[in-house]
């Protein structure tokens, strides 16, 4: 294994429609292999990232995803790109994100 690239372990988490209706932008909290993860549907794409904000632990699912696809924390309003975890509001934090894929309506999270 290349030390720069951690291997992803794909974990099935069930049918995607148990979490989201088509076309609805929303976030839910799930547990995957002992990790608390925020699952988001935004413009019919599925994203996964940490439950808590890296600044001071705000629950990101209680925030919102803005018009350009960044989740905003409900506590101090820092924003993070949900595709790569980049802190777009400039405070220098990094949000852990997870890969997702859908195969035959089954959602998988890469941890
Ligand atoms: S806890 Fe999220 S911005 Fe402070």
Q: Say what the pLDDT of residue 107 is.
A: 97
pLDDT of 2 > 60? The answer is: no
Does residue 26 register a pLDDT over 70? yes
Q: Domain boundaries in the chain? A: 10-110
Its CATH class, for the domain covering 10-110, is: mainly beta
The residue whose CA has the least distance to atom 4 of ligand 1 is: 76
pTM recorded for the entire structure: 0.93
pLDDT tier for residue 1 given thresholds of 50, 70 and 90: very low
75 lines ligand 1 (CB under 6 A): yes
Which of 51, 53, 61 most suits a substitution to test ligand 1, by most atoms within 8 Å of the C-beta? 53
Q: How far is the CA of 106 from the centre of ligand 1 (A)?
A: 32
3-state SS record for the chain: CCCCCCCCCEEEEEEHHHCCCCCCCEEEEEEECCEEEEEEEECCEEEEEECECCCCCCEHHHCEECCCCEEECCCCCCEEECCCCEECCCCCCECCEEEEEEECCEEEEEC
Q: Report the pLDDT averaged over residues 93-108.
A: 96
């Amino acid at each position: 294994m290349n030390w720069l690239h951690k291997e992803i372990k794909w974990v099935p988490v069930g049918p995607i429609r148990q979490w989201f209706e088509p076309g609805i932008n929303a976030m839910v909290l799930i547990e995957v292999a002992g990790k608390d993860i925020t699952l988001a549907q935004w413009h019919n794409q599925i994203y996964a990232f940490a439950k808590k904000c890296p600044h001071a632990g705000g629950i990101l699912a209680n925030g919102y995803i803005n018009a350009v696809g960044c989740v905003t924390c409900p506590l101090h309003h820092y924003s993070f790109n949900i595709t790569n975890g980049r802190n777009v509001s400039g405070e220098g934090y990094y949000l852990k994100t997870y890969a997702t894929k859908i195969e035959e309506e089954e959602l998988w999270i890469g941890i």
